[in-house]
Amino acid sequence: MNYAAIMAGGSGSRMGVTDVPKQFIALDGLPIIIHTLKVFADCEQIEKTVVMCPNAWVDYTRGLIDAHLAPYSQKLYVAPGGATRNETLEKAVDYICRAFSPDSGSVIVTHDAVRPFLTGRMITENIKYASLYAACGTVFNATDTVVLSADGRFIDSSPDRSTVFNCQTPQSFRLGEYLDSLSKLEKSERDALTDACSLFTLTGKKVYMVQGSAENIKITRPADIQTAMGIIKTRSV
């Protein structure tokens, strides 16, 4: 069985919005989160999708799903997230375990609610490679030269750009591997995690790289809305 956990706990602070989290901002007539959920709802390999959002927005999110994705409502669930991304991920896994009783080989695909331009291909490849390995993450080749600096003032080195990748989502894993890795960390280590992949690399497990795309952007700032609209226009041509 394959499940999805959508991370929708962000705020609208960097968007210059204070009254609504960024995932609910309209994009081409629909909330960003609805664009994202539609891709997961259309993927036949995903059995259930859990949306993790701020507690105060659970009913609102459920209402959006009922209004815009009614044919898929039986496979879309909403639950309150945590104070941090990692806590939200742990809550998502706990919810899936309690609600659906998955076996240890089940795959959980995690994704940012504000990355609406993922594709079905990315989801299916995440499922495939998470099934083969402990975990996998979606990446895209870095186009800018990256520099390293220990003091934040002077450049120490510049790694070969062919070995540098930008991390995107989905990031996916087998449930049993996730629980095993999590059990090996102290609470302070768990609290310091920034994403699903870092849990596995920290505990010495291989994380396979799935090819992402330049379009798989994370919408966090006002300029990203304009970029997103450009992607939509390009796709409609």
Which tens digit of pLDDT belongs to each residue from 189-208?
Answer: 888 888 999 999 999 999 99
| pLDDT score recorded for residue 237 | 67
- Supply the pTM of this predicted model: 0.94
Return the pLDDT at 236: 81
How many angstroms separate the Cα of 57 from the Cα of each of 12, 18, 60, 209? Answer: 13, 14, 5, 33
How far is Cα of residue 64 from the mean position of the Cα atoms in its chain?
19
Over the chain, what is the mean pLDDT?
Answer: 94
How would DSSP label each residue in 126-191?
HHHHHHHSSEEEEEEE--S---B-SSSSS--B---GGG-EEEEEEEEEEHHHHHHHHHTS-HHHHH
Q: Would the pLDDT of 15 be above 80?
A: no
pLDDT tens by residue, 158-191: 999 999 999 999 999 999 999 999 999 998 888 8
**Tens digit of each residue's pLDDT (9 = 90 or more) over 226-236:** 999 999 999 88
Q: What is the pLDDT of residue 190?
A: 87
Q: What is the pLDDT of residue 14?
A: 59
Model pLDDT, residue 24: 96
**pLDDT the model gives residue 12:** 58
Beta carbons of 109 and 36 less than 8 angstroms apart: no
